[in-house]
């Protein structure tokens, strides 16, 4: 009786045991893994925008600002091809203006461009602080800078997380088989994509730092990145 209760608790805790008519002789186990690794790359995300009365003026302003940024960064050793644009757009810009009677009206103020770009540098690159100082010196309407840590190539750690998730499923299956006094047969199915696999998820927003007053004395110590994965494996039991 104690053995049966123990098996039931194990099943409830981490994995499921199928009792349906078509699956009475299988065991379904969910394996999980978390692999931590130190980042090797710093990604600087830069968002800049300006408002001008006319479309031509705002377009010219965006071009001049980008040229200025590229020239300044080149002087710090950053190549033009390292500066990547993720989004650029120009929109009409309106503001809600309060009238004398206390109500508000939507008033056209001109045109605004938004330019989102990023630069990736080695985490040990000594010029990171100098690059940040370039953006501190920009005299434009609005600028936002955030910093993120990542791996330049994460294929190896992804594979490791997947393998560890499978091994976790296998160890759980062996434990429950031993406790329940049965043995594992061949694998019936491996479900890898539809069970909440989040191997690709590295949430930059959790690691963003506001760097509006950056300094050349760049000494941030990043936390390790965490890669998570799950895999569901179904075995025949005998």
| pLDDT per residue as tens digits for the range 113-125 | 999 999 998 888 8
Both tokens assigned to 20: 């349906």
Structural domains in the chain, CATH included, are 2-38+154-237 (3.30.110.170), 41-150 (3.30.70.2970)
For tokens 């969910």, what's the residue?
30
pLDDT digits (tens, 9 = 90+) for 42-97: 888 889 999 999 999 999 999 999 998 899 899 888 988 899 999 999 999 998 88
Strands 225-237 and 184-191: antiparallel
210 pLDDT more than 50: no
- Number of Cβ within 10 Å of residue 58's Cβ equals 21
CA distance 77 to 84: 15
Where are the extended beta strands (E) located within the chain? 26-37, 41-52, 83-98, 104-122, 142-150, 184-191, 225-237
For tokens 């800078």, what's the residue?
145
Entry pTM: 0.66
């Amino acid at each position: 009786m104690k053995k049966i209760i123990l098996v039931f608790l194990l099943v409830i805790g981490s994995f499921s045991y199928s009792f349906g008519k078509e699956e009475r002789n299988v065991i379904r186990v969910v394996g999980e893994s978390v692999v931590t690794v130190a980042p090797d790359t710093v990604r600087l995300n830069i968002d800049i925008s300006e408002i001008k009365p006319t479309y031509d003026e705002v377009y010219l302003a965006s071009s001049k600002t980008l040229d200025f940024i590229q020239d300044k960064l080149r002087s710090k050793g950053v190549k033009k091809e390292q500066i990547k644009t993720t989004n650029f757009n120009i929109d009409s810009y309106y503001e809600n203006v309060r009238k004398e009677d206390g109500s508000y009206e939507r008033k056209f103020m001109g045109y605004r461009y938004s330019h989102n770009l990023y630069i990736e540098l080695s985490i040990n690159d000594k010029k990171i602080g100098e690059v940040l100082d370039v953006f501190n010196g920009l005299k434009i309407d609005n600028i936002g800078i955030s910093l993120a840590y990542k791996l330049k190539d994460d294929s190896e750690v992804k594979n490791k997380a997947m393998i560890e998730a499978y091994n976790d499923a296998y160890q759980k299956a062996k434990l429950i088989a031993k406790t329940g006094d049965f043995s594992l047969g061949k694998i019936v199915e491996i479900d890898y994509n539809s069970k909440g696999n989040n191997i690709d998820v590295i949430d930059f927003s959790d690691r963003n730092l506001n760097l509006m007053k950056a300094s050349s004395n760049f000494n941030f110590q990043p936390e390790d990145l965490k890669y998570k994965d799950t895999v569901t494996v179904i075995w025949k039991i005998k």
